[in-house]
Amino acid sequence: MKTRKLNVVETAPQAPTRYTADYMLESLKRRLEREKESATNAIHGFAERFAVNPANALEWSDKVFTYAAMKEACEGIESFIRRQEEKDMYEVPSSRKLLDMVQDMLLEETLNRAQYPESSTSVPSNLMSLRRNAARAEWCRRVRDAIEMINA
């Protein structure tokens, strides 16, 4: 029985990609902007569909709550980051510290709203409250993942 020798090309082991805190913070800012723009476009699309056929648009209105909550969460995070970056140069946190602060802020708000949920007689108000908390939780997870990538 004849055996064939396979040509194997060995490559040098690749070093794991290192993500810096500065890179991850800028990436987070870009993602916030994209998410906000996407949510805004979806809300405008709903408004256009509502103008054409309100009954049909309302049947799909659940997603609009999600988009509105995501847009609000993005704006809140951007505002928080901007306030931190506008501090006196001796008080401005490093990118890594700022990511930690964003995660802590989101986690605190999410846990606070889960422990003390808003309660209204308005079904849309309650639904919006749930979607807001879900959006904050989603961003908290994303920031945590960014921090983990820095630590890897």
pLDDT in tens, 110-126: 999 999 988 888 988 99
Rounded Cα–Cα distance for residues 29 and 12 (Å)? 34
Domain boundaries, the chain: 21-151
Q: Is the pLDDT of residue 15 over 60?
A: no
What is the pLDDT, as a whole number, of residue 62? 87
The H or E element containing residue 133 is helix 123-151
Quote the DSSP letter at residue 10.
-
pLDDT at res. 102: 97
- pLDDT tens-digit map of 63-120: 999 999 999 999 999 999 999 988 877 787 899 999 999 999 999 999 999 999 888 8
**Percent of the chain surpassing pLDDT 90:** 66
pLDDT band with cut points at 50, 70 and 90 for residue 61:
confident
User: Locate tokens 């003390």: which residue?
Assistant: 116
pLDDT at 56: 83
Q: Higher pLDDT residue, 6 or 47?
A: 47
pLDDT above 90: residue 11:
no
Stretch 17-46: mean pLDDT: 93
DSSP string of 32-56, one letter each residue: HHHHHHHHHHHHHHHHHHHHH-HHH
Residue tagged 């709203």 (tokens): 113
